Amino acid sequence: MDNPQTLVSCFQVTQQLLRDRSLSAGHDVSDGGLITCLLEMAFAGNCGLDVELSYPGVNALELLFAEELGLVLEVPEPAVPKVMGQYEAAGVQCVKIGHTQGKGPSSMVRVGVNGQEVLLEKVGPLRALWEETSFQLERLQANPSCVSQEEAGLRQREGPHYHLTFDPAEKPQLPPVIGSSQPRVAVVREEGSNGDREMAAALLMAGFQVWDVTMEDLLTGGTTLDSFRGVAFVGGFSYADVLGSAKGWAASVKYNAGVRGQFEAFRRREDTFSLGVCNGCQLMALLGWVGPDGTADTGDLPTQGVLLGHNLSGRYESRFVSLKIDESPSVLLRGMAGSTLGVWVAHGEGLMQFRSPKVLDHLTSHHLAPLRYVDDLGSPTEEYPMNPNGSPLGIAGLCSANGRHLAMMPHPERCALTWQWPWMPEGWRQTLDVSPWMRLFQNAYSWCLENPSQDL
């Protein structure tokens, strides 16, 4: 670069345009040159391009593969004059080189140089060629069958189609608070837990009085669950998953008479709710709080009917997937049925395994499996990676028959705010202050106010 001030000016203008929300996307020209930059943008956006470059005296190879400083920006058509004007006013050359066209893997990518067409191909096959080496490497470190599913699916994917059956901007009507304080909820964690900060933040935003409670607090008698209306068992890797996910955590409950009694008393109280996420979901399954082996509550300790096993991919999965909410008795999912939302998953053992076909049949026939991984058409799926662990029927969460206890592998607390979503429909971003997942936490708060504590 002959003049470093040009880079400074470019950066400053770009930052201002980002603040003005004038830019839709952008990519720097670096390794691979301009053509690589353009194609990576097309792949990421799952769209076609029509680009025409006019530089007389420069051949296509030099122009497309030169690794020189530059930015490619996608801009809404009405904003083009403004964007170009701001760069030019700052002494930075800015030219319009083309436009996007179409959506989906059949969209065409066309590149012309000095009037000669040098590339004309669908974005799907181009992306497949681009990803081929990566998938070969993937086969060496993951289940080859799952990798093949992802490779084949990528050629056809149109993109997620989210759907809302409620207005997240409307806060639920709340009855007056009875007593002097807000409902108390315990965010329970064990050695190796994480996600407690995000969980606490979401519950605080919903209106709860949130307490940080460790298993050590409960084991030593430093606190009890008696005063809490809700418990949230958080995600993470309790005891480093050495014994298997949540098995060490479950053992600290099952094999301590005092804590076991506390947990069971809390579960049976009619004025309480619980939410288990990821490692917490695995814990609730091991304790039999959801999916018990038996359809009736006999008054005895529930017996385990569900086990969360290793993902079929054979590895830890951290992805943003689509989740559909079905009708169920869950108090935390009230009014959300029929919606399809994006959500984070981050787990190595999320495969729902059922002790018998009877358990699975009971859960599905009684609407106790309210959360399903779905494909781009919104249909429950077992296909990887839309279903990141291979759970049958796309089951991602379970609830108790009374609706008060919900266990789910995905992390709603990690996308309770709109900026925590890597993508959502533009209309949602413009109108929503919080993510639709906040309704789950608001529902819990509303339920507590509608069902006052037995002690009040």
Whole-number pLDDT of residue 172: 74
For residue 390, how many other CB atoms are within 10 A of its CB? Answer: 22
- The tens place of each residue's pLDDT in the chain, 456 residues long, gives 889 999 999 999 999 999 999 999 999 999 999 999 999 999 999 999 999 999 999 999 999 999 999 999 999 999 999 999 999 999 999 999 999 999 999 999 999 999 999 999 999 999 999 999 999 999 999 999 999 999 999 998 988 999 999 999 887 777 666 555 789 999 999 999 999 999 999 999 999 999 999 999 999 999 999 999 999 999 999 999 988 899 999 999 999 999 999 999 999 999 999 999 999 999 999 999 999 987 666 667 888 999 999 999 999 999 999 999 999 999 999 999 999 999 999 999 999 999 999 999 999 999 999 999 999 999 999 999 999 999 999 999 999 999 999 999 999 999 999 999 999 998 898 889 899 999 999 999 999 999 988 654
Calculate the CA dihedral of residues 320, 328, 251, 234 and round it to 10 degrees. 40
Distance CA 370, CA 367 (A): 6
Per 3-state DSSP, what percentage of the chain is helix, strand, and coil (rounded to 5)?
35, 20, 40
The tokens of 49 are what?
A: 């391009």
Give just the sign of the alpha carbon dihedral 233, 234, 239, 241. Answer: positive
> Tokens at residue 58, please?
């420069």
Q: What is the reported pLDDT for 456?
A: 43
CA atoms within 13 A on the CB side of 173: 0
Question: Does residue 103 contact residue 44 with C-beta atoms inside 8 Å?
Answer: no
Which positions are catalytic? 278, 411, 413
Distance of alpha carbon 28 from the chain centroid: 27
Helix axes 247-254, 257-268, angle to 10 degrees: 90
Cis previous bond, 385, omega within 30:
yes
Rounded to whole angstroms, the Cα distance separating 286 from 405 reads 14
85: helix, strand or coil = helix
- Integer Cα distance of 421 and 415 in angstroms: 6
Question: Which whole-number Å values give the CA distances from 292 to 110, 289, 354, 359, 449, in the listed order?
Answer: 57, 7, 10, 8, 28
Q: How many angstroms separate the CA atoms of 197 and 199, rounded?
A: 5
Instruction: Return the pLDDT at 298.
Output: 61
Q: How far is it, in rounded angstroms, from Cα 434 to Cα 446?
A: 17
**Residue 226 DSSP label:** T
Complete DSSP assignment for 383-444 = -TTTSSS--GGGEEEEE-TTS-EEEESSBGGGGSSGGG-S---HHHHHH-SS-TTHHHHHHH
Count of residues in the chain: 456
Q: d(Cα 321, Cα 390) in Å, to the nearest integer?
A: 13
Domains and CATH numbers, the chain: 4-123 (3.90.650.10), 184-450 (3.40.50.880)
